[in-house]
């Protein structure tokens, strides 16, 4: 099965990290077009991100990892399998800070520079704003200062680029992150099973990243109170300790709650509290 990924860009290191963390082994991808996964029947196809949706749509690649912004801009006929927690950004309309334009409705008959003409056109049509779209392939942020456009529509993550170019955001029109996509075509059964396994690995890894395994010893008398404090995914495992007065409690809790839980159970007499990361979790 072929998975198309970005050859060299913002998403590349996150994709490689994800694929390695879900157990695929392969050589460094630098300067390569195709890399074989050693321990699965998978090849990684290294492309420019703009080409990935079409390669997957046309079945040249069976799956791909690419920003949702590119999938939507290309109107690619692919199936979105899973959002991934990196490459997060917004597509935003912005104008120079000193501009008197404060709402998108004031963009009527204005020139808006963008590398995302299709997403922008849909937004303008939906909101009945008749503006002119100026398509640029890069350096969109400098278009207003070059008097090419009154406004821009571009990706924002930290907001630093907009600020340094003296721009203010009027509206975020689209939120994006990296996504796993696949061809809409039914694949031969061996490829379908590799695809299902890939999706299972990714989903179980993403759930695992958001959770932690917690273990502690607690006085028997405090068991109910401690269990009430555990925002557990399922009922905790309780095991008696040799001394007869204490119990071992094991469970899975959301990572975001772990310090709060640790503090609360400690106050109720829990000791030997151990919190460990989970490699993979299937619910």
Both structure tokens of 194: 């590799």
Residue 161: contacted member of Zn ion, ligand PRT, none (CB under 5 to 8 Å, by partner type):
ligand PRT
Give the Cα separation of 33 and 46 in Å (integer): 5
Q: Are 4 and 56 in contact (CB under 8 A)?
A: yes
- What are the backbone dihedrals phi and psi of residue 142, each rounded to the nearest 5 degrees, phi first? -90, 0
Considering only residues 20 to 49 of the shown chain, the ones binding ligand PRT according to CB under 6 A are 48-49
- What are the backbone dihedrals phi and psi of residue 50, each rounded to the nearest 5 degrees, phi first? -60, -25
Nearer to Zn ion, 49 or 62 (CB): 49
Which of 53, 67, 144, 236 binds ligand PRT (CB under 6 A)? It is 67
- Does position 114 bind ligand PRT by CB under 6 A? no
- What minimum distance in Å lies between the beta carbon of 43 and ligand PRT? 19
Give the Cα separation of 43 and 39 in Å (integer): 11
For residue 244, the number of C-alpha atoms closer than 13 Å in the C-beta half-sphere is: 0
Buried-state track 152-162, b at ≥16 Cβ within 10 A, e below 16: bbbbbeeeeeb
Which of 53, 64, 87, 144 binds ligand PRT (CB under 6 A)? It is 87
- Does position 69 bind ligand PRT by CB under 6 A? yes
Give the Cα separation of 51 and 33 in Å (integer): 13
Which of 43, 50, 192, 257 binds ligand PRT (CB under 6 A)? It is 50
Give the Cα separation of 272 and 246 in Å (integer): 12
Binding site for Zn ion (CB under 5 A): 49-50
Which of 118, 161, 225, 280 binds ligand PRT (CB under 6 A)? It is 161
Q: Which residue is nearest to ligand PRT (CB)?
A: 67
Which of 130, 159, 254, 272 binds ligand PRT (CB under 6 A)? It is 159
Nearer to Zn ion, 88 or 281 (CB): 88
Residues lying near ligand PRT in the complex (CB under 6 A) are found at: 6, 9-11, 48-50, 67, 69-70, 87, 89, 154-161, 176
């Amino acid at each position: 099965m072929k998975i198309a990924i970005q050859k060299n860009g913002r998403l590349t290191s996150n994709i490689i990290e994800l694929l390695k963390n879900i157990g695929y082994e392969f050589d460094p991808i630098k300067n390569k077009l195709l890399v074989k996964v050693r321990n699965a029947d998978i090849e990684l196809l290294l492309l420019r991100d703009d080409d990935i949706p079409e390669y997957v749509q046309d079945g040249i690649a069976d799956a791909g990892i690419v920003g949702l912004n590119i999938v939507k801009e290309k109107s690619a006929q692919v199936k979105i399998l899973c959002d991934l927690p990196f490459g997060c950004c917004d597509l935003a309309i912005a104008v120079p800070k000193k501009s008197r334009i404060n709402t998108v409705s004031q963009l009527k008959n204005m020139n808006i520079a963008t590398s995302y003409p299709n997403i922008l056109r849909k937004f303008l049509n939906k909101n009945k704003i008749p503006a002119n779209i100026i398509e640029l392939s890069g350096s969109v942020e400098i278009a207003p200062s070059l008097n090419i456009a009154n406004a821009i529509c571009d990706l924002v993550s930290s907001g630093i680029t907009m600020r340094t170019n003296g721009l203010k955001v009027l509206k975020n029109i689209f939120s994006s992150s990296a996504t796993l996509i696949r061809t809409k075509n039914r694949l031969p059964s061996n490829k379908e099973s590799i695809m299902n396994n890939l999706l299972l690995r990714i989903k179980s890894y993403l759930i695992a990243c958001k959770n932690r395994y917690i273990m502690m010893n607690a006085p028997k008398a405090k068991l109910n109170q401690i269990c009430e404090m555990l925002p557990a995914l399922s009922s905790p495992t309780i095991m008696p300790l040799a001394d007869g007065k204490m119990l071992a409690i094991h469970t899975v809790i959301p990572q975001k709650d772990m310090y709060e839980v640790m503090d609360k159970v400690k106050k109720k007499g829990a000791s030997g509290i151990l919190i460990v990361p989970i490699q993979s979790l299937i619910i």
